[in-house]
Amino acid sequence: MSFEPIPRLAVIGCGLIGSSVARAARASHAAETIVIFDANPAVRERVRELGMADLTPDDPIEAVRDADLVIFAAPPAAIGAACEAAAPGFKPGAIISDVGSVKGAIGDAMAAASPAGVFVIPGHPIAGTEQSGPDAGFPELFEGRWTILCPRASDDPAYDVAVARLSGFWRALGAQVELMDAAHHDRVLAVTSHLPHLIAYNIVGTAADLEEVAEGEVMKYSAGGFRDFTRIAASDPVMWRDVFLLNKDAVLEILGRFNEDLQALSRAIRWGEGDKLEALFTRTRAIRRGIVAAGQESAEPNFGRNRKGV
Amino acid sequence: MSFEPIPRLAVIGCGLIGSSVARAARASHAAETIVIFDANPAVRERVRELGMADLTPDDPIEAVRDADLVIFAAPPAAIGAACEAAAPGFKPGAIISDVGSVKGAIGDAMAAASPAGVFVIPGHPIAGTEQSGPDAGFPELFEGRWTILCPRASDDPAYDVAVARLSGFWRALGAQVELMDAAHHDRVLAVTSHLPHLIAYNIVGTAADLEEVAEGEVMKYSAGGFRDFTRIAASDPVMWRDVFLLNKDAVLEILGRFNEDLQALSRAIRWGEGDKLEALFTRTRAIRRGIVAAGQESAEPNFGRNRKGV
């Protein structure tokens, strides 16, 4: 598919994801002029030092002025306010999107803050690392990953054109694109992302609080499995606070399912039901193979860590 | 420290760990003659094809005869019986050890099955990957990792010499060695390894059972965090069944702590207590930094996956 570059892209919020969008847009020539704004003056200064943007205004309204595509990459709970602050500068016909991990609440907030005549299309690239800030981004972050767009109800054919244009932008950045209802997105991500983060944060906290096992021991012997959890428990605290608050219902519901299953597993251990344990542990192997087959994971043992003796 | 090679090493059980011990002993010249036995004839045949051992007898008594060091690397619950089956061949003065992930129950079983005149020293290398079988092992597996030895009560000075010799063997394989009481080992590993595996198996099972989210969706969007859990949930089912049954008390106790913390976290989400969430999520970052500083983890974002666009 041919893709006409976006004449002017504005990225609002320049952490890991925002800076990766800007870098990927530059590297792939998906946008001609790139404008970056961040509410934090120190981040704006760093963006200037890194030379990531053509323009780095100090005002959000200036930042979005004349932009054909505006992508909000602020922490999830801040996107609504950021959109409201920038909205007076929106160009008629602009595409207004975001990268937040929750789509129902954020989509509603952006729609409420936006004037008529722009196209609000919430989006979410399923990609990231445990690092944060404008230095953490890199242009390959979205390659081979999925970006989910959650178009809002509309019978305007121009809206469909805008969705196709935004899809093309993400494909130019290397992503695969899927369209999905926002409520379904929030349930799927509660499973594949929000619950795993919640559990990882919890287990790392539990380990840190034990009296009889020293924190140094937890660190020394972490290669037995624990260290994998610490990677995602090192993710951005503000972003994740927002995710759990904005997707509360779906997270609590899936957490209830997880707890039921964990009680059953706990009972099987207590009563020595080895067959039940082995049956579950065999079944879960197949899921891993499916993820590798779907191109979303490295097939190398131990994430390839041992290649370098790490 | 100088280390005199072990004249004859017998490895009983040749999966990921057993085959890595044999390969590492060969590569490091830590043993002169290497004998491998596995209860499964197909595995013995594969060991012969791979040329990993000098001898691959079909009988466990033959396998341990004249061995100065015997390392049991069978599934945890099978080690006691494997030791009993081989014991008639033990050479007086031999060191009898293992690699099982639980040390109390396995140490007791090996001691009960062994004659007087040998030195039973339970051991546990904290290393592994999610793969299984004789083809999965590699000689660098233990490099930079910790091996915990749990010497049994003894006032025999020759026992201390044997512990020093076994420590030297593991160091020759690249490991760092720590001595620890078996009960403490079982509590530490319940935190750093057994609980993480239990949680990972559980969450992958929960995700697979959801009616409203298709398994294909779980796989496609797993890069949001879920895929990290699937790595350890792909570990050997029989081994892990045994671990939970043999370390039941410590696992259930630590699971109780985990559950308490999870209820508190769940409550904080329900009542919108963002400050509590952010405080926990900030604290857990420090643990990750400690693990990287302790040399037990890669500092590269995303385990270095993105280097290759994986």
CATH number for B67: 3.40.50.720
Are B222 and B262 part of one and the same domain?
yes
Residue of A202, A235, A239, A253 to mutate, interface with B, max B Cβ within 10 Å: A202
Contact call for residues B95 and B43 (beta carbons, < 8 A): no
Buried b vs exposed e over A54-67: b needs ≥16 C-beta within 10 Å?
Answer: eebbeebeebbbeb
Are A224 and A253 part of one and the same domain?
yes
Distance CA B236, CA B136 (A): 12
Rg (CA), chain A: 21
Nearest to B269 among A232, A238, A248 (CB): A248
Query: Of B67, B103, B104, B110, whose CA–CA distance to B85 is shortest?
Result: B110
Six token digits for residue B23: 């390969």
Contact call for residues A255 and A187 (beta carbons, < 8 A): no
CA distances from B212 to A64, A132, A147, A250, B222 (A): 39, 32, 20, 12, 16
> How confident is the model at residue B308, as a pLDDT?
45
CA distances from B88 to B38, B61, B82, B115 (A): 17, 6, 11, 8
Nearest to B210 among A191, A210, A277 (CB): A191
Domain boundary among B134, B158, B180: B180
Distance CA B141, CA B129 (A): 9
Number of domains in chain B: 2
Nearest to A296 among B145, B220, B293 (CB): B220
**Ranges of chain B with pLDDT below 50:** 308-310
Inter-chain CB proximity A257 and B206 less than 8 Å: yes
> How confident is the model at residue A298, as a pLDDT?
81
> Which residue type, as a one-letter code, is found at position A184?
H
Inter-chain CB proximity B225 and A197 less than 8 Å: yes
Tell me A193's DSSP state: I
Distance CA B151, CA B162 (A): 10
Are B129 and B70 part of one and the same domain?
yes
Predicted confidence (pLDDT) per residue in B240-260, tens digit: 999 999 999 999 999 999 999
> How confident is the model at residue A296, as a pLDDT?
85
Inter-chain CB proximity B220 and A280 less than 8 Å: no
Residue A291 lies in a domain: no
pLDDT of chain A along its 310 residues, tens only?
578 999 999 999 999 999 999 999 999 999 999 999 999 999 999 999 999 999 999 999 999 999 999 999 999 999 999 999 999 999 999 999 999 999 999 999 999 999 999 999 999 999 999 999 999 999 999 999 999 999 999 999 999 999 999 999 999 999 999 999 999 999 999 999 999 999 999 999 999 888 888 888 999 999 888 998 999 999 999 999 999 999 999 999 999 999 999 999 999 999 999 999 999 999 998 888 888 888 888 888 887 776 544 3
Residue B123 lies in a domain: yes
Predicted confidence (pLDDT) per residue in B5-35, tens digit: 999 999 999 999 999 999 999 999 999 999 9
Residue A284 lies in a domain: no
Expressed in angstroms, the distance from the first to the final Cα of chain A is: 41
Inter-chain CB proximity B210 and A231 less than 8 Å: no
Residue A289 lies in a domain: no
Inter-chain CB proximity B262 and A232 less than 8 Å: no
Six token digits for residue B26: 């060969």
Are B249 and B215 part of one and the same domain?
yes
Inter-chain CB proximity B188 and A217 less than 8 Å: yes
Contacts of A305 (CB under 8 A, 6+ apart): B298, B303, B304
Scanning B57-76 for CB atoms below 8 A from A yields none
Are B151 and B190 part of one and the same domain?
no
B158 in contact with chain A, both atoms CB, cutoff 8 A: no
List phi, psi (to 5°) of A158.
Answer: -65, -30
Residue A59 lies in a domain: yes
Residue of B138, B176, B227 to mutate, interface with A, max A Cβ within 10 Å: B227
Are A28 and A148 part of one and the same domain?
yes
Rounded (10°) CA dihedral B13, B16, B19, B24: -140
Are A198 and A244 part of one and the same domain?
yes
Distance CA A259, CA B182 (A): 31
Q: Which domain holds residue A247?
A: 184-272
Distance CA B126, CA B177 (A): 10
Are B74 and B217 part of one and the same domain?
no
| Residues of chain B found within 8 Å of residue A290, distances taken between Cβ atoms | 215-216, 219
Residue linked to tokens 């140094």:
A216
Expressed in angstroms, the distance from the first to the final Cα of chain B is: 41
Inter-chain CB proximity B284 and A131 less than 8 Å: no
Nearest to B193 among A197, A215, A225 (CB): A225
Are A109 and A160 part of one and the same domain?
yes
Distance CA B296, CA B195 (A): 18
A141 in contact with chain B, both atoms CB, cutoff 8 A: yes
- Tell me, letter by letter, the H, E, C secondary structure of chain B: CCCCCEEEEEEECCCHHHHHHHHHHHHHCCEEEEEEECCCHHHHHHHHHHCCCCECCCCHHHHHCCCCEEEECCCHHHHHHHHHHHHHHCCCCCEEEECCCCCHHHHHHHHHHCCCCCEECCEEECCCCCCCCCCCCCCCCCCCCEEEECCCCCCCHHHHHHHHHHHHHHHHCCCEEEECCHHHHHHHHHHHHHHHHHHHHHHHHHHHHCCCCCHHHHHHCHHHCHHHHHHHCCCCHHHHHHHHHHCHHHHHHHHHHHHHHHHHHHHHHHCCCHHHHHHHHHHHHHHHHHHHHCCCCCCCHHHHHHHHCC
Are B119 and B196 part of one and the same domain?
no
> How confident is the model at residue A309, as a pLDDT?
40
Distance CA A49, CA A258 (A): 46
Nearest to B277 among A136, A193, A244 (CB): A244
Residue B14 lies in a domain: yes
Are B220 and B139 part of one and the same domain?
no
CATH number at residue A220: 1.10.3660.10
Domain boundary among B139, B159, B180: B180
In angstroms, the separation between the Cα of residue B299 and the nearest Cα of chain A is 9
The CA-based angle B305-B306-B307, given to 5 degrees, is 95
Residue A288 lies in a domain: no
Residue of B132, B221, B260 to mutate, interface with A, max A Cβ within 10 Å: B221
Locate the chain A residue with the closest alpha carbon to B216. Answer: A290
> How confident is the model at residue A310, as a pLDDT?
37
In angstroms, the separation between the Cα of residue B26 and the nearest Cα of chain A is 18
What's the burial of B271, exposed, middle or buried (CB within 10 Å: 0-12/13-18/19+)? Answer: exposed
Residue B23 lies in a domain: yes
Inter-chain CB proximity A215 and B257 less than 8 Å: no
Nearest to B232 among A191, A225, A309 (CB): A225
> How confident is the model at residue A299, as a pLDDT?
82
Are A115 and A252 part of one and the same domain?
no
Beta bridge partners of A9: A34, A69
Domain boundary among A180, A202, A221: A180
Residue linked to tokens 């993820």:
A291
Inter-chain CB proximity A237 and B189 less than 8 Å: no
Nearest to B205 among A261, A298, A309 (CB): A261
